[in-house]
Amino acid sequence: MSFELMNRVQIDEITGGRDLAIARWLDAFDSFHRLSDEAAGLSIGGALSLSAPSGDRYNDTGLTRAFLAKTDHEAYDRETHSTIKTSARDYFAAKMTAAVDRRCWRHLLETLGFDQLLDRQAREEFYSGLEGVPPAFTTENCAATFGHIWENRRDIYLRGIANTFAALDRRFRSHDGFKIGSRLIIERALSDSGRWWSDYNRRDTLRDVERVFRELDGQGPCPESMSIIEQVTSGRDYTPFVIHGEYFRVRVFGNGNLHLWFERKDLLKEVNKLLAEYYGEVIGDGYNNTEASDAPEFHMTPAKDFGAFMSSDEVAWRVMECAMIGKGLRYFSSDGS
């Protein structure tokens, strides 16, 4: 899939539309309060009281309440221990501008197709940056943000593949020569009923695996309704059952575990080449040997980035002996767990 950055003129047009939208909303605020005051003066019954319900975790009515407010907004500043007053119009302008910017950033990311370049980690970082007060949707910020993504797309792409398979199997980061085999496991992916995901991170992981294989096969992204994750939760009355997808088959177990078998060995070999590139494996050895066993192996090289390390029983017992860890003893991590 190829991506081309929009030119400066197009970005200027988009951000200019954002500025006009903000101006229109402020005009609407001014008109509403001016006309409602005029109506209150004309009617013998006086002003009408319009209100919005308080927001909750599912519905944020803050912007609506800010639009309807006539009095100054008051907020307590913990640093200065004082109350800060903001005019109703300025408070609405700040809330509305943040909402407009947030929607513009999300829409432009998806319209340009850059969301397909980002792995789950990068997507989470991008969207978390839109919470609260997002960066202003200006020409300069757009060029800097998407220019950075485009210039680093290869590194982001490789990291996405690494993160995807690391989430499936922690042996992945054990040493430089590790290769993905033909089978991987996603533990506790589904609820007891098997009809929904127990953890959406696991759902996204499987979605990313499918995305990687489709990209390597020269295919574009497919709608979620047609993806393998939809088939997994299709709702069978019995377990285990097997789903045959375009690139892999998935065996669903009653405990919520998913076992994945990769059907396209040619694409699996390409994945292992990319993993070797990301983790810096020696080209001569890593690129020519992309086969891997399906079961854990004992490794003879140091773990990279403190990844999991499959040690033999003899080595494990020796470590426990040197650390004076006997039967019945427990250890505590730095966080107290």
pLDDT in tens, 289-300: 444 444 444 444
How far apart, in Å, are the Cα atoms of 126 and each of 5, 106, 147, 281, 316? Answer: 18, 9, 14, 30, 41
| pLDDT, mean of residues 298-312 | 48
Residue 142 vs residues 9, 106, 217, 235: alpha-carbon distances, Å: 12, 12, 31, 43
Query: DSSP string of 142-184?
Result: HHHHHHHHHHTHHHHHHHHHHHHHHHH-GGGGS-TT----SEE
Question: Would you call 63 helix, strand, or coil by DSSP?
Answer: helix
pLDDT at 329: 65
Mean predicted confidence (pLDDT) in 212-239: 78
pLDDT single digits (tens) 251-273: 888 788 888 888 888 998 888 88
Structure pTM?
0.62
Bridge partners for 190 per DSSP: 197
Res 91 pLDDT > 90: yes
- Report pLDDT digits (tens) over 164-212: 777 665 455 444 444 676 777 777 778 766 567 766 677 777 888 888 8
Rounded Cα–Cα distance for residues 296 and 174 (Å): 10
Neighbour-count burial for 267-286, b at 16+ CB within 10 Å, e otherwise: bbbbbbbbbbbbbebeeeeb
pLDDT above 90 for 23 = yes
Please tell me the distance from the alpha carbon of residue 169 to that of residue 187, in angstroms, as a whole number: 10
